């Protein structure tokens, strides 16, 4: 399995937010299988691009490719309209592949592209449930703001710790995100004020990756609770 534990939150939290916002129908279950298996498949596919040694991970590509195909075809058979999202995801994967090919997959821009990719599941869930996409616009924006902010936050705490310019950019982004979130719904001021505080304070302190993970788990649960309250 991919060692990027934080990516699972980026996969599951927007998916759950989509369910909270639009409801449930049976195709969302194979969608979840395709979504998670597709992430693992993309991780190993991009690793093959980065290392230029696809033979070393052929078993993973075969297994996760088969699972993704089976679950994905099940969803498409029930909801053919989901094919409309294919070009968008193709562009996102192309961007990820570009950074992987240049061995720069840890770049800030690539992280932001990945945040966008994870958030796109919100309108996909809406389409599966037959709900107009505009109904999920607020949830989509909230998820994108949160996970894009997390990309800044984690970098300033670990790989770019001590980078004052990036810390300033992170603080500015979180302040703007707070304003945008309150515009969506005033109750979002609660989690996004906390995200701003942690983005400014925690990078100045010493914290392990595990501790940061617990902080983000709490932040994700708080956000889902507010999504449910707003919905």
Within a domain: 126: yes
Write down the pTM of the prediction. 0.94
Q: Mean per-residue pLDDT for 120-138?
A: 96
Residue 49, in any domain of the structure: yes
In this predicted structure, what is the pLDDT of residue 160?
87
Which pLDDT tens digit goes with each residue over 208-217? 888 888 889 9
Domain count, the chain: 1
Note whether residue 1 is domain-resident: no
Q: Is residue 129 part of a domain?
A: yes
Residue 168's domain spans which residues?
6-230
pLDDT digits (tens, 9 = 90+) for 214-230: 889 999 999 999 999 99
HEC profile of the chain: CCCCCHHHHHHHHHHHHHHHHHCCCCCHHHHHHHHHHHHHHHHHHHHHHHHCCHHHHHHHHHHHHHHHHHHHHHHHHHCHHHHHHHHHHHHHHHHHHHHHHCCCCCCHHHHHHHHHHHHCHHHHHHHHCCCCHHHHHHHHHHHHHHHHHHHHHHHHHCCCCCCHHHHHHHHHHHHHHHHHHHHHCHHHHHHHHHHHHHHHHHHHCCCCHHHHHHHHHHHHHHHHHHHHHHC
> Average pLDDT in the 93-101 region?
92
């Amino acid at each position: 399995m991919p060692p990027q534990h934080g990516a699972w939150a980026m996969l599951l939290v927007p998916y759950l937010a989509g369910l909270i916002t639009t409801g449930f129908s049976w195709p969302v279950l194979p969608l979840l299988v395709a979504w998670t298996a597709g992430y693992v498949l993309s991780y190993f596919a991009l690793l093959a691009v980065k290392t230029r040694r696809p033979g070393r991970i052929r078993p993973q590509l075969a297994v996760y490719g088969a699972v993704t195909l089976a679950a994905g075809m099940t969803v498409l058979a029930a909801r053919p309209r989901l094919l409309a999202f294919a070009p968008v995801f193709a562009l996102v994967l192309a961007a990820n592949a570009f950074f992987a090919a240049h061995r720069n997959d840890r770049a800030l821009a690539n992280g932001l592209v990945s945040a966008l990719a994870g958030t796109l599941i919100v309108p996909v869930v809406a389409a599966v449930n037959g709900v107009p996409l505009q109904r999920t616009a607020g949830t989509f924006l909230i998820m994108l703001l949160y996970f894009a902010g997390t990309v800044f936050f984690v970098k300033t705490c670990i790989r770019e710790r001590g980078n004052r310019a990036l810390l300033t950019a992170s603080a500015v982004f979180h302040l703007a995100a707070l304003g945008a979130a309150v515009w969506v719904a005033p109750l979002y001021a609660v989690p996004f004020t906390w995200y701003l505080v942690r983005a400014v304070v925690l990078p100045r302190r010493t914290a392990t990756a595990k501790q940061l993970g617990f902080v983000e788990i709490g932040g994700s649960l708080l956000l889902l609770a507010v999504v449910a309250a707003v919905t």
